[in-house]
Amino acid sequence: MKVLIRHQKREVEVAGRRRVRDVLAELGVNPETVLVIRGSQLLTHDVQVAEEDTIELRPVVSGGGA
Amino acid sequence: MRCQKCKGQASIEMRRHHAAFCNEHFIEFLDHQVERAIEHERMFTRDDRVLVVVSGGKDSLALWDVLLRLGYHATGLHINLGIGEYSQESQRKASAYASRQGAELLIVDIPQEYGMNVEEFARATGRVSCSACGLSKRYLFNRVALDEGFSVVATGHNLDDEAAVLLGNLMHWQTESLARQAPVLPSTHPHLVRKVKPFYRIAERETAAYAIIRGIDYIVEECPNSVGARSLLIKEALNLLEQAAPGTKQSLYWGFLERGRSVFVNMDDASIHACIHCGQPTTAEVCAFCRMTERAAERMRIRRLSPLAAAGAVPAAQEGAVVPGS
């Protein structure tokens, strides 16, 4: 599958059919810090993503404000 | 994973609530949380004119969207900070949302109004950018609210923001800041407008989910000046804790409001009066914003008068320029 890592402006390939939580673990991403989107739909961490799918990791952490 | 209300496919899981919801029931959940915050903390009513500070990011646009849908009189205020393309894109997002909703958006453009941006404010006063930016925003939204007759200002600060600020203040035992941290900051001076944070019960992940589900086009990119900001480091630490123990951020902040804040309340004894220059509330004779802008203007004036600038050898606002007398 293709994974768009929005905040790092990069795209990676992850092999095989995998659950969202396993994809995040493989990429070393804390699930608290992103939302996972397929098309326009948010995915929970138990959802299986197919080999031919594209998913986006959208960062949710913003900051710097004082 | 199934929605706990309708048993349809869930789109978001909230481990701290032991809950998962589909799009429709997540929106219902979030609306309920916001209404509860507004009513429980007596933030405002549907008779109040609320000024919502809208950066163009997920939190502020989501807040404006929730308030408009729930029938509040919410006007947006966008402050253009002059941080290059980032600020231009932020303003475009805020304006586009306002146009689509037919909602009123007020805009203050700092470079247009002051002849320089917040980065130049920061350099002139030795502040970090985030500090100059925060000071400018707080000053300007209070001034606009006063000038335009709004009874309350609402910001999109969420649970993660508040937990991070709290932990930062605790690490350095900043007791006056701890005394002032609350979902409602009342008006304690005729020139100080009431300030509220209706998202204090909502996690950052949830405000982002709301924006995506509602199809809100927000600026995803972070401010280039926030790279390495201390608040982001604290959030990273809190997210590690949250991952291992869901509910940590909520427990930290809500627990502080319920049991900790009262210890510090009396430690903020600063008296507020009007700035002798601009009339805005301050604890000093001249407010911090006037001091900052005056110093920045003076620095720019010195640069324009410098022999190097006059000869065209150094652009007037070039960073790090050696200026006689500076």
Reading the block at residue B78, the tokens are 């966008």
In 3D space, the residue among A63, A29, A61, A18 whose CA is nearest the CA of residue B243 turns out to be A29
In chain A, which residue's Cα lies nearest the Cα of B20?
Answer: A44
Instruction: Answer for the pair A20, A43: CB distance below 8 angstroms, yes or no.
Output: yes
- Structure confidence by residue, pLDDT tens digits, B164-198: 999 999 999 999 999 999 999 999 999 999 999 99
Question: What local confidence, expressed as pLDDT, does residue B310 receive?
Answer: 57
Question: What local confidence, expressed as pLDDT, does residue B204 receive?
Answer: 96
**A40·B212 Cβ contact <8 A:** yes
* A42 pLDDT more than 80: yes
**Structure confidence at residue B270 as a pLDDT band (50, 70, 90):** confident
* ipTM, 2 dp: 0.94
Instruction: Answer for the pair B62, B206: CB distance below 8 angstroms, yes or no.
Output: no
Contacts of A63 in chain B (CB under 8 A): 161, 164, 222, 226, 229, 231-232, 235
Higher pLDDT, B114 or B266: B114
**A59·B220 Cβ contact <8 A:** yes
pTM for the whole thing? Answer: 0.91
Instruction: Answer for the pair B9, B3: CB distance below 8 angstroms, yes or no.
Output: yes
In the stretch 2-61 of chain A, residues with CB closer than 8 A to chain B read: 6-7, 30-33, 35, 37, 40-47, 58-61
Q: Mind telling me how many Å the CA of B227 is from chain A's nearest CA?
A: 8
Q: How many CB pairs under 8 A join A and B?
A: 92
